Structure 1
Amino acid sequence: MIERGKSLLLVLLVALSLVQSYFLAYSMPSMDAKVKTDQDYVKTEPLGPEEKVEKLLFPEELVLHMGQDKHTVFYPNDTFFHMVLDKLVSREFKSFQRVPADQVNWEQVRKDEAGIEVRFGREIPFDLLKRVYKIDTDFLFSGDSIDRIWIFARPDSGEVRTYFFSADGRNVYESSRADLTVQDVQQSVGFGQYWKPYRYWANGVYIPEQSLPVTRLDVLFTKYTPDQMQRNLFSNPNATRMIQDSKDGTQIYMDSKRGLKIEEAGSWMSYKDPVAPTEGRDDLSENIAAAVQFVNQHGGWNGSFRLVRAAETGSGADRDNAIRFQQYYNGFPIVSDKGFRFGDMQLTIQQGFVSSYERSLLVLESKPESQQDQRLAAGDALLSMIRQAAGGTTVEAIYPAYRPVLSEDRLKLQPVWAVRLATGEVRIAN
């Protein structure tokens, strides 16, 4: 009798539990509905394609040394650039060790040894570089950043030497187990026999001996609207207010803390989202990855871009946390002057949080409407132009580029030589 009573009580308890579960599931308000994020207010409109970090890390240039003090330079627009690079990214680099920079006579190597310099033009953390190259980063100094790889062969001994240079110039790392043969290096260097000769000038800069053919282009464009960017960047566009400057047409959108400025006749935007200062060390790899992800979600990559060095302007904090991407068209970087801003994105990031974001709102068509052959200066004439543009400041690099000129519904991309100074500032050599 007692056992039957226990069984009946157990059945009643189970039934009561099921009834409670029903009311909790269907009658009580959901706790999840009360937890709202910024994304709940508005669905972000995809404006441009997304990109992966590794696709933005290609080198600024490849310098080929052919021995007997003969050299040439490949840029991203060159077919040979990609042929050499494709071979390098398919090989493995292992067993790293730090060596004294003066252990190798680099001047002698530059003049006499067949080799390849992969120049990035800015510091790239090992942690990001391994996304592109097969690098064994399980070594003591893998937290460092590098800006150059130098590979050279010594046929007499059958050895290939591979060195990674730290961006601060303090350290050199040798990969003693690189998956490259003397024949691999000689084949890549052999492409230079068909290219234009360059002569060494100073500070690692090479000057072409012959003029470079670069096509002048007229390219049509479309434009992101202020409304698109407002809806894309603000969690609740309905809560923003707009202020317009009647003199130059600048529009400013603001909510409780963020601001968006649209200027230059709707062709340029600046976005600010103040981030409270925090203690702790910034991680460059994380900041670069955060910058790429932010652009993926807010505007996208309307063309080809490369991670480049930001100029040393503004406060130290802004400079140290600035992440900049340069736009390329037809294989050449676009470098604007003070009269018209176009061709780059720049973000300021602190521990993964974006506090500022600047970019053009113009979207170039993938193919030019018209083109015209043109040649860039070389030799002593170019050297004179470089010195004038630098104005006594140390020159860090030169490269062919496009200067954009706005003309109604199109951009005129004019071939120029760009000069990057030791400060990171880029000037146009006229």
Structure 2
Amino acid sequence: MKYESIKTVILTILIIISIVLTWQLWTYQPHHKTLEKLTDIVEENPASNTKDIPSLVKPMKILFHKDGQHFATFEESEINKLMKYIRTWEVNDVKNISSSIRDFTSFIKKDGHAEIIFADKIPLQIFKSLLNINDKEHSLVNFDRIIINVNDEERGEGKIYFISYENQIVYEAKVNSERINSFKRNYYLLASKYPEQVEYKLTETSSFFLPKEETKMTHLVYYTDIIEVDHFVENLFTEPNNVKKDVLQSSEVHTDGTRMLKVFNDQKYIQFVNPMLINNSQGETTDLIQTSIDFVNEHGGWTGNYQLFSWNKNNQKVVFRLHVENYPVFNRNGLTEIDQIWGKNEIMNYEHPLISLRFTPEKRETELPGGDAVMKEIESIPDFQANLVENITIGYELIANQKSSKVVSLQPIWCYKYDGNWIKVEIKESDNLGGDTDGLE
């Protein structure tokens, strides 16, 4: 009996200890200061998800022209809410009215117009995934913005326009006037809550609207995850078991004898190449974008909030760029881009970062200068040509941390696209110093 009693006591103690340890494990909270502010948690497996067109093709900003003033928002939540709303609209009677527009730039900034502006031109076929468009004739026509006209109503129908700014093309379409009136009440009439913009006219056909005042931004510090190279080897090669690996001084090469995947360890990105392909296939423009999306979906390659940023039918290139708070993120080593070049219905060149943003333990408020200071620096670059300025926007520059390879910072910047290249605007303290041409790509 005594022996059995001892066993019972010991067993009871063990059960109590087990319960206590389990409770401590469940309720454990780390006390590190850097972990007290964790936000922006991403997926456990950074290379395992798929995305559709609405999550990859988003506007850069919305610009309102109201009572002779101009207001704009970059806010991701506002833009997502608006795009979700207009996705329910039924769009009819799409037609080309370009020849009837006498003054294109005046038409764009007309009172009562709200511009939904994208980073690059988009085929109407892709817009059909963003709007309910009833049209079979103009799928291959490209546009870089949608204009909602809140003042023009006829027989219960309102008007929206699909615009190609570079080519000065205007397509008109009809929308139920109740939809337009709802947009007017909930968005357009409230536009003055957004930062006021000033127009800067560079050429007779090119204007940019930039903030009148300084813009409040957030300087971010992120911890990063490393994406395993094996994920790409297993998904990009048809027979990964036959792939051989060669380790070099600062890189490694994986090849099956035809295709090659090169890992740039210092720069933290991979390049997948099929040298047997000759890029002589033009294909359909809509296919190029959709095929590029499908390709990344097939191996779960969306390792962050990437959005379609640019594409070129002639060289069959598509670029998806990382975005944070709806601002594009730039990096000299390509750590914020997913680049693709296509051959004959097959990927010819594919570049992908090996890092993904995990969480941000540190945020710091900062300000970017207003439009006057930005334009002054841009126009002061050597041999400046106004007609070569293609875009001006706020963004982030991803900068590596010199003390820790797992930490990066996102610094708010002004940048502009000049003759095909994105360049950071360096605001100088002295008026005697011209703008810098610090390339971002």
TM-score by structure 1 length?
0.78
**Residues of 1 paired with 2:274 and 2:102: CA distance?**
48
2:189 pairs with 1:194: no
Task: Give the aligned residue type for 1:324.
Answer: V
Identity of aligned residues (%): 19
Q: 1:237 to 1:80 in 2, by over 3 A?
A: closer
For residue 342 of structure 2, the aligned residue among 349, 366, 376 is: 349
Aligned residue for 2:224? 221
Q: Which runs of 5+ in 1 are unaligned?
A: 1-44
| Cα shift readout 1:199-244 (whole Å, capped 9, x = no counterpart) | 1112231121111111111100111133333233223334233333
2:375 pairs with 1:380: no
Q: Is the 8 A contact 1:94 1:178 kept in 2?
A: no
Q: Is the 8 A contact 2:89 2:175 kept in 1?
A: no
Q: 1:101 to 1:214 in 2, by over 3 A?
A: farther
**Residues of 1 paired with 2:174 and 2:223: CA distance?**
50
Q: 1:348 to 1:210 in 2, by over 3 A?
A: same
Task: Give the aligned residue type for 2:408.
Answer: L
| Cα shift readout 1:33-65 (whole Å, capped 9, x = no counterpart) | xxxxxxxxxxxx993211113321111221111
What is the deviation of 1:328?
1.0
**Residues of 2 paired with 1:354 and 1:321: CA distance?**
10
2:169 pairs with 1:171: yes
For residue 405 of structure 1, the aligned residue among 375, 399, 403 is: 399
TM-score by structure 2 length?
0.77
Task: Give the aligned residue type for 2:221.
Answer: D
Deviates more, 1:187-196 or 1:206-215: 187-196
Aligned residue for 1:181? 180
Q: 1:171 to 1:196 in 2, by over 3 A?
A: closer
Q: 1:172 to 1:90 in 2, by over 3 A?
A: same
Aligned residue for 1:60? 60
**Residues of 1 paired with 2:94 and 2:382: CA distance?**
37
Aligned residue for 2:208? 205
**Residues of 1 paired with 2:367 and 2:99: CA distance?**
39
| Cα shift readout 1:313-359 (whole Å, capped 9, x = no counterpart) | xxxx8x5300110111233211113xx33111010123532111101
Q: 1:385 to 1:264 in 2, by over 3 A?
A: farther
Q: Is the 8 A contact 2:120 2:144 kept in 1?
A: yes
Task: Give the aligned residue type for 1:298.
Answer: H
Q: Is the 8 A contact 1:263 1:269 kept in 2?
A: yes
For residue 127 of structure 2, the aligned residue among 126, 129, 134 is: 129
Q: 1:382 to 1:281 in 2, by over 3 A?
A: closer
2:79 pairs with 1:95: no
Query: Partner of 2:330: helix, strand, or coil?
Result: coil
Deviates more, 1:286-295 or 1:168-177: 168-177
Q: Is the 8 A contact 1:286 1:352 kept in 2?
A: no
2:257 pairs with 1:256: yes
> For residues 7-406 of structure 1, what are the structure 2 equivalents within 5 Å?
47-68=47-68, 70-75=69-74, 77-103=75-101, 105-110=103-108, 112-138=110-136, 140-154=137-151, 160-166=158-164, 169=167, 171-179=169-177, 180-182=179-181, 184-185=183-184, 187-202=186-201, 203-246=206-249, 249-265=250-266, 267-274=268-275, 276-277=277-278, 281-310=282-311, 320-337=315-332, 340-365=333-358, 367-388=359-380, 392-393=384-385, 394-406=388-400
**Residues of 1 paired with 2:244 and 2:153: CA distance?**
72
Q: Is the 8 A contact 1:327 1:334 kept in 2?
A: yes
Aligned residue for 1:424? 420
Deviates more, 1:273-282 or 1:186-195: 273-282
| Cα shift readout 1:230-267 (whole Å, capped 9, x = no counterpart) | 23322333423333332xx1212222110111114261
| Cα shift readout 1:361-418 (whole Å, capped 9, x = no counterpart) | 10111x3111111111113212123335696242222221110111121111111112
| Cα shift readout 1:4-52 (whole Å, capped 9, x = no counterpart) | xxxxxxxxxxxxxxxxxxxxxxxxxxxxxxxxxxxxxxxxx99321111
**Residues of 2 paired with 1:193 and 1:207: CA distance?**
15
What is the deviation of 1:278?
7.9
**Residues of 1 paired with 2:270 and 2:189: CA distance?**
46
| Cα shift readout 1:134-193 (whole Å, capped 9, x = no counterpart) | 11122x333312212122233698974321124761632111345543453354222321
Q: 1:287 to 1:167 in 2, by over 3 A?
A: farther
**Residues of 2 paired with 1:145 and 1:111: CA distance?**
20
Task: Give the aligned residue type for 2:91.
Answer: F
Query: Partner of 2:187: helix, strand, or coil?
Result: helix
Q: 1:350 to 1:389 in 2, by over 3 A?
A: farther
Q: Which runs of 5+ in 2 are unaligned?
A: 1-44, 427-441
Work out which of the two has the higher radius of gyration on C-alpha atoms and give 1 or 2.
1
Q: 1:263 to 1:389 in 2, by over 3 A?
A: farther
**Residues of 1 paired with 2:288 and 2:109: CA distance?**
38
Q: 1:218 to 1:390 in 2, by over 3 A?
A: farther
| Cα shift readout 1:277-308 (whole Å, capped 9, x = no counterpart) | 48764112112122112112235211111111
**Residues of 2 paired with 1:165 and 1:397: CA distance?**
16
**Residues of 2 paired with 1:336 and 1:209: CA distance?**
27
Q: Is the 8 A contact 1:80 1:191 kept in 2?
A: no
